[in-house]
Amino acid sequence: MASFSIHGDIIWTESPDSFRYIEGGYLNIEDGLVESVSSESTSCDILETDGSLVIPGLSDLHLHAPQYPYAGLYMDEELLEWLEHHTFPEEAKYRSLEYAEKAYSILVDDLKHSATTRVSVFGTIFTDSTLLLMRKLSDSGLSGYVGKVNMDRNSPDYLSEETVASISETLRFLESAPECSIKPIITPRFVPSCSDELLRALGGIAEERGLPIQTHLDENPSEIEWVKELCPWAGSYADAYDQFGLLNSRSIMAHTVWPDDGEIELLRKRGAFVAHAPSSNTNLSSGIAPIRRFIDEGIHVGLATDVAGGSSLSLFRMMQDAIGASKLRWRYVDSALRPLRFPEAFYLASKGGGAFFGSVGSFEKGWDADAVVIDDSICRTALRDELSVPERLELYAYRHPDESVKAKFVQGRRVL
Amino acid sequence: MASFSIHGDIIWTESPDSFRYIEGGYLNIEDGLVESVSSESTSCDILETDGSLVIPGLSDLHLHAPQYPYAGLYMDEELLEWLEHHTFPEEAKYRSLEYAEKAYSILVDDLKHSATTRVSVFGTIFTDSTLLLMRKLSDSGLSGYVGKVNMDRNSPDYLSEETVASISETLRFLESAPECSIKPIITPRFVPSCSDELLRALGGIAEERGLPIQTHLDENPSEIEWVKELCPWAGSYADAYDQFGLLNSRSIMAHTVWPDDGEIELLRKRGAFVAHAPSSNTNLSSGIAPIRRFIDEGIHVGLATDVAGGSSLSLFRMMQDAIGASKLRWRYVDSALRPLRFPEAFYLASKGGGAFFGSVGSFEKGWDADAVVIDDSICRTALRDELSVPERLELYAYRHPDESVKAKFVQGRRVL
């Protein structure tokens, strides 16, 4: 992989406070890494973008691949009913590789045309269709993680595993995982779906093999009450994961809408990532996570679509929704936590979530060259000639969040 | 205008509770009115839509035409600062007919391609550019109202009128209004921008000439405190409008996020319309209006984009946001008011707001034949063949809210 440069209006965030940008600059890339952002090209191989915006690839820290077929449907229920009525019956279909092929093809193609370059994805309990998903995502050029889901209790018969089988299928999943840009991740659905024995075994596997972990935490008040009943020995929902060895700096905790003070401290101490899914948390009436507090306390936060709790695959839409939700939280819940601003939301979707995957989501020297080219000339406004590069990015994020991107690079490799 | 039929999957709401629909049916139209929805055509002139969805035209009860250039920008401020920093400077530009021509052309073209057929629009204080806006909207085939805005206090010098001049310009506006599908509407910006003398005069003009009225009510707590200081003699913000003759069954009160019990009773007694702008109310950190209570109390409610407080012209997006906001309000403010469901949100955007314009927004016999044809085949899902007509509509509203529509009719006349 040689060196090349992308010429355009380049914008990124190194800290949440503000954008860095250069109009008509060059993103210089060498061997898949960012060499520099400069007013001069360091290579003769230049991609001209005709005044497009060039941003870091975005990271989606939490989505359920099998739920994409009904993203945008059945939005009139809360979490636990919604799982029973819609999620579990749909996920059961992925026992069929034929259905998985049909449904995952659509998801992967839509992700390919989005601004997302990194993903952390829930499959289903079915090992083979989850392996299929890994291959398809890798073929599309995306990078990240896919997990075979574990569920051995409180689940319908048609979507439940025996504890021992769940463990052995997880091992088979790990051993069968293809060598590609999509890696396996340990994926207990959440405490209500997994016995203590299963969670303990998964924590052990993750530790032995140095594997990352993804699960759900504190999404909905009814769910939290249920976890209290299921784990009376745990100090909190987060503590339950912690005691099973599932909460550490390689863990993604999706949602975390209702953490208590002890859980926030535990998340911070363990260095875990919170996947903030504002669209889903609104759609399922879950609530609004205290993201400002997480940021202030130094907890890692990234954005997530949580399809199909979220109805859109767009991380631009998640930026809008993260900002909007934080404003309503400020208004109704805690006026000490000021709303998120646009550069902060962009940071969460790029460098914030990207940190889970390594040096991803910024244009600093030596970082992975994940870059997305956006044609913002589709934003029609009489003010066009007066807008700064950050203003153009905000306009695009609010006006055309679902638009296909123009070009996309993952670790310097063009994938679109 | 002869009779014709539109053949497709026809769906509408007569009450908020549920959809009515027919797959592969005919919307039969005679002389601009709905004759029937039937499995048989009553005309030889049939528009085939190839399995598209056919819905009633949607109504946008509140938007600011001059603010469209920055819709999706500057979303990090609250109402009063935002007005001062962004809104007033931009509106001042419409003193120039040349700028108005340039900016309004973009807005009108985007509205033309949306599912909106009826609008109630704020112009600026500038009479001539507001007349220009009326002509352009009418040329696009849309129907509804445009108002010359009145502002004679607490406004920057460059965007303020003398009281007498504001009244005489309003009269000139009314006399110069073109004979077309876009009619004039009395438009005091809001109490803080209008002296008692001006509001009284505008109430008188509206009454004398039988004109409709649009203004803002109870958007933001700081605004409400300000109105209390400005009108110590009024029982409430709504009562101030009422005493000036500005609150009646031809009035649109935009927002109404923070009404007290007396105001709700007054709105109900007067038969006024509330324009619910959920996207704007989130963007400007205003809050969440108690729409369920309005519906339960029999108050007229329609949806509104409130561009540029709202960043999208799409009423599908407003349906999403109305539902989402109602869920968060249920969760955090008042669990007695259950969240809005999708058929209810669709009803608000069609028949609910349409009622302001007459028999608009439903496919009942004798109603205005406002119809929009939507190509929902762009919604990619493995479940496509299993979806009912209402599910297809929900999917489209959540997944492709900003998409251009395929065809549009206003009172039976094809405009797109």
Mean pLDDT (whole number) for B257-284: 98
Q: What is the pLDDT of residues B182-199, one digit of tens each?
A: 999 999 999 999 999 999
**Can you give the CATH number for the domain in which B195 is found?**
3.20.20.140
Q: What are the beta bridge partners of residue B10? A: B22, B54
Within this chain, do residues B125 and B51 fall inside the same structural domain, yes or no? no
Within this chain, do residues B150 and B289 fall inside the same structural domain, yes or no? yes
Within this chain, do residues A165 and A118 fall inside the same structural domain, yes or no? yes
Q: What is the pLDDT of residue A1?
A: 59
Say which residues have a Cβ less than 8 Å from residue B41's Cβ, sequence separation at least 6: B5, B7, B26, B28
Whose tokens are 């920093």? That residue is B85
Q: What is the pLDDT of residue A77?
A: 80
pLDDT above 90 for B77: no
CB < 8 Å from A in window 268-287 of B: 282-283, 285-287
Contact between B72 and A397 using a beta-carbon 8 Å cutoff:
yes
Contact between B342 and A288 using a beta-carbon 8 Å cutoff:
no
pLDDT above 90 for A78: no
Confirm or reject contact between A106 and chain B (CB < 8 A): yes
Confirm or reject contact between A222 and chain B (CB < 8 A): no
Side-chain-side CA neighbours of B200 within 13 Å: the count stands at 6
Within this chain, do residues B41 and B71 fall inside the same structural domain, yes or no? no
Contact between A381 and B106 using a beta-carbon 8 Å cutoff:
yes
Domain end call among B335, B357, B379: B357
Q: Quote the CA–CA distance of A387 and A377 in Å, as a whole number.
A: 12
Q: What is the pLDDT of residue A374?
A: 98
Mean pLDDT (whole number) for B375-400: 96
Confirm or reject contact between B113 and chain A (CB < 8 A): no
Mean pLDDT (whole number) for B240-259: 98
Nearest to B341 among A76, A333, A394 (CB): A76
Say which residues have a Cβ less than 8 Å from residue B108's Cβ, sequence separation at least 6: B133, B136, B137, B139, B140, B142
Within this chain, do residues A189 and A282 fall inside the same structural domain, yes or no? yes
Within this chain, do residues A34 and A108 fall inside the same structural domain, yes or no? no
Domain that holds residue A378: 4-56+362-414
Calculate the dihedral angle through the C-alpha atoms of B220, B222, B227, B233, rounding to the nearest 10 degrees.
Answer: 110
Contact between A282 and B328 using a beta-carbon 8 Å cutoff:
yes
Cβ pairs A/B, distance under 8 A: 128
Q: What is the pLDDT of residue A347?
A: 98
Confidence of residue A79 (pLDDT cuts 50, 70, 90): confident
Question: String of b and e for B136-161 (b: at least 16 CB within 10 Å)?
Answer: bbbebbbbbbbbbbbbbbbbeeebbb
Domain end call among A321, A339, A357: A357
Confirm or reject contact between B380 and chain A (CB < 8 A): yes
Contact (CB, 8 A) for A244 and A237: no
Q: What is the pLDDT of residue A2?
A: 81
Question: String of b and e for B55-93 (b: at least 16 CB within 10 Å)?
Answer: bbbbbbbbbbbbbbbbbbbbbbbbbbebbeebbbebbbb
Domain end call among A340, A357, A374: A357
Contact (CB, 8 A) for A282 and A219: no
Domain count, chain B: 2
Q: What is the pLDDT of residues A179-238, one digit of tens each?
A: 999 999 999 999 999 999 999 999 999 999 999 999 999 999 999 999 999 999 999 999
**Mean per-residue pLDDT of chain B:** 97
Contact (CB, 8 A) for B3 and B30: yes
Contact between B383 and A70 using a beta-carbon 8 Å cutoff:
yes
Helix B196-209 with B163-176: angle, nearest 10 deg? 20
Within this chain, do residues A244 and A384 fall inside the same structural domain, yes or no? no
E strand or H helix that includes residue B198: helix B196-209
Mean pLDDT (whole number) for B55-70: 98
Nearest to A323 among B75, B109, B387 (CB): B75
A65 contacts on B by Cβ (under 8 Å): none
Contact between A282 and B394 using a beta-carbon 8 Å cutoff:
no
Confidence of residue A76 (pLDDT cuts 50, 70, 90): confident
Contact between A69 and B402 using a beta-carbon 8 Å cutoff:
no
A106 contacts on B by Cβ (under 8 Å): 380-382
Within this chain, do residues B316 and B248 fall inside the same structural domain, yes or no? yes
Confidence of residue B78 (pLDDT cuts 50, 70, 90): confident
Within this chain, do residues A26 and A51 fall inside the same structural domain, yes or no? yes
Contact between B72 and A398 using a beta-carbon 8 Å cutoff:
yes
Q: What is the pTM of this model?
A: 0.98
Within this chain, do residues B215 and B318 fall inside the same structural domain, yes or no? yes
Q: What is the pLDDT of residue B1?
A: 59
Q: Who has greater pLDDT, B75 or A175?
A: A175
Within this chain, do residues B20 and B120 fall inside the same structural domain, yes or no? no
Within this chain, do residues B391 and B305 fall inside the same structural domain, yes or no? no
B320 contacts on A by Cβ (under 8 Å): 311
Asked if ipTM goes beyond 0.85, one says yes
Confirm or reject contact between B40 and chain A (CB < 8 A): no
Confidence of residue A99 (pLDDT cuts 50, 70, 90): very high
Nearest to A75 among B68, B71, B323 (CB): B323
Best residue in A129, A282, A284 for a mutation probing chain B (most B CBs within 10 Å): A282
**Can you give the CATH number for the domain in which A48 is found?**
2.30.40.10
Best residue in A96, A129, A398, A402 for a mutation probing chain B (most B CBs within 10 Å): A398
